[in-house]
Amino acid sequence: MATALAPRKAPRQARSRKTRDAILVAAGGILAREGLRGLTTNHVARAAGISIGSLYQYYPNKQAIIGALLTESRAAVLAGMEAAAEAAADAALDVVVCAMVRARLRQLFEQPGLTEALERAEAELPADQGLARQRTQVQAQVVAVLAEYYVDDPETVARDVLALAEGMAHAALRAGEAAFEPLAQRVERAVTGYLAGVVPEA
């Protein structure tokens, strides 16, 4: 069933995919630089080098564009976290979880303005099942790993770990930090310390 955030059509040909990508790249740049106020369909169309009519063939409004950006952003996070967990398979729990957290935080530092703008913009979007499902999947990936290591109440632990890591990252960005590695190492120490209190003894 279509929602307010659903695109009008899915690109099937290379040219259509190129146009769609141009729309999202343009929208992401505007959102990162100017925030939600600067994001209008006319502004996006001009930045993408297409007519407003062409834009509306793909997205009915700016909310649908934001929804598409969020969907792509979260899909990249989920893929990165899954790959990190697989690469660290059979390692100690803190190593696996820290690898997943690194994958989550790397996106914040690669596109800090866009990521924070999208998170703020999401609060103004209508409810969307796809976005809601992606939100839960980020935590669910960590829950699944914790459960494999027999951690009690993995849902709470996963929520705490992500809140700790993301809170530290957002604080670092607000303070003007631009280097990812120093922040990642601080987060790893904090997460490792937290997990030390919940990991079952062998």
Confidence of residue 6 (pLDDT cuts 50, 70, 90): low
- Indicate the residue type of 68: A
- Half-sphere exposure at residue 109, Cβ-oriented, CA atoms within 13 angstroms: 22
* Residue 24 shares a structural domain with residue 54: yes
Phi and psi dihedrals of 120, rounded to 5?
-70, -40
Same domain, 83 and 100: yes
Q: Domain of residue 40: give its range.
A: 8-60
Picking from 40, 60, 80, the residue at the C-terminal end of a domain is 60
Q: What is the CATH number of the domain that holds 99?
A: 1.10.357.10
Residue ranges in 59-92 assigned as alpha helix (H): 62-87
Domain-embedded: residue 103: yes
Residues 7-20 have pLDDT tens digits of 655 556 667 889 99
Tell whether 2 is covered by a domain. Answer: no
Count Cβ atoms within 10 A of the Cβ of residue 42 and give its class: 0-12 exposed, 13-18 middle, 19 or more buried. exposed
List, for residues 96-109, the tens digit of each pLDDT value: 999 999 999 998 88
Same domain, 19 and 101: no
| Residue 122, pLDDT above cutoff 60 | yes
For residue 59, report the phi and psi dihedrals to the nearest 5 degrees. Answer: -135, 125
Do 88 and 47 reside in the same domain of the chain? no
Check whether residue 75 and residue 51 sit in a common domain: no
Same domain? 143 vs 82: yes
Identify residue 170 by its one-letter amino acid code. H
Tokens of 133: 């499902």
Report the distance separating Cα 161 and Cα 176, nearest Å: 23
CATH of the domain at 33: 1.10.10.60
Read off the pLDDT of each residue in 26-49 and give the average, rounded to a whole number.
94
For residue range 50-96, what is the model confidence (pLDDT) as tens digits? 999 999 999 999 999 999 999 999 999 999 999 999 999 889 999 99
